[in-house]
């Protein structure tokens, strides 16, 4: 049973074009993600998936495994699925290319849920560090857990009061390979479109989705302001 880590790296990001190659402490952002991922105990291999020749060239210069994909993918999951279709690994994890200092423990934790529980087709992760400001911020995705610790719902705009079952979502996704390849062929669901959350497609077909809960937080880079905040927070250049 192989476990493949795939880091989708789209160069033409809408909010921050070229961000995956922005230098962070001497290396392109997506390379930083790769260096975090290869520290994981549960991954057998890790590869960058991109539609950009610039990204491919930059990764090859660093001897980082990279595969070119089609340019028509609307989500990172679709890009991951294309790479997964070329590999035989039974489990595939989508690791975000704009979270340069994600803890390897988070990645391992999400993978272990599938390794240890055969009934789960998909898993993700969530942080206990959900502040009141983040609870009210529609740019921060929240996950609600059911009584058994599985994902019950994902949302941006809360309805009601925050509780201990509401956590800050960390956008990594682990799939059983065959489930992933079927999922990306399905039509977008109404809640996926309404909330701009691709995981709602799986939720809307009653996916039993495991959630690895951690005290770690993850800083993603979606805008230049996010990058400045990361640099200041980590004390790096």
The model's pLDDT over 182-195, given as tens digits with 9 standing for 90+, comes to 999 999 999 999 99
75 near 96, Cβ under 8 Å?
no
pLDDT beyond 70 at 235: no
What structural domains does the chain harbor? 3-219 (3.90.550.10)
Structure tokens that stand for 161 in this block: 């009061």
CA dist., res. 77 & res. 66, Å (int):
16
> Does this model's pTM top 0.75?
yes
pLDDT reported for residue 183: 96
Over residues 148-163, the pLDDT tens digits come to: 999 999 999 998 899 9
Over residues 26-80, the pLDDT tens digits come to: 899 999 999 999 999 999 999 999 999 999 999 999 999 999 999 888 888 999 9
How far from chain centre, in Å, is Cα 4?
A: 14
CA dist., res. 193 & res. 37, Å (int):
30
pLDDT beyond 70 at 10: yes
| Maximum separation of any 2 CA atoms in the chain, in Å | 50
CA dist., res. 233 & res. 204, Å (int):
37
pLDDT beyond 60 at 98: yes
pLDDT category at 15 given cuts 50, 70, 90 is confident
CA dist., res. 175 & res. 76, Å (int):
13
CA dist., res. 229 & res. 220, Å (int):
10
């Amino acid at each position: 049973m192989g476990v493949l880590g795939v880091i989708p790296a789209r160069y033409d990001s809408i909010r921050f074009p070229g961000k995956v190659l922005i230098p962070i402490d001497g290396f392109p952002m997506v390379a930083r993600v790769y260096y975090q991922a290869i520290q994981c105990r549960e991954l057998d291999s890790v590869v960058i998936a991109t539609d950009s020749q610039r990204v491919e060239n930059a990764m090859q210069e660093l001897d980082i495994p990279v595969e070119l994909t089609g340019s028509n993918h609307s989500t990172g999951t679709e890009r991951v699925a294309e790479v997964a279709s070329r590999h035989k690994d039974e489990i595939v994890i989508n690791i975000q290319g704009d979270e340069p200092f994600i803890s390897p423990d988070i990645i391992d934790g999400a993978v272990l849920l599938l390794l240890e529980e055969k009934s789960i087709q998909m898993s993700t992760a969530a942080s206990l560090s959900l502040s009141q400001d983040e609870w009210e911020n529609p740019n921060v995705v929240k996950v609600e857990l059911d009584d058994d610790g599985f994902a019950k719902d994902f949302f941006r705009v809360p309805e009601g009061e925050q509780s201990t079952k509401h956590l800050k979502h960390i956008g990594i996704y682990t799939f059983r390979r065959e489930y992933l390849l079927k999922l990306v062929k399905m039509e977008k669901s109404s809640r996926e479109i309404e909330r701009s959350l691709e995981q709602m497609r799986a939720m809307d077909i009653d996916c039993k989705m495991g959630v690895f809960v951690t005290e770690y937080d993850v800083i993603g880079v979606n805008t230049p302001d996010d990058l400045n905040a990361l640099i200041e927070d980590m004390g790096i250049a």
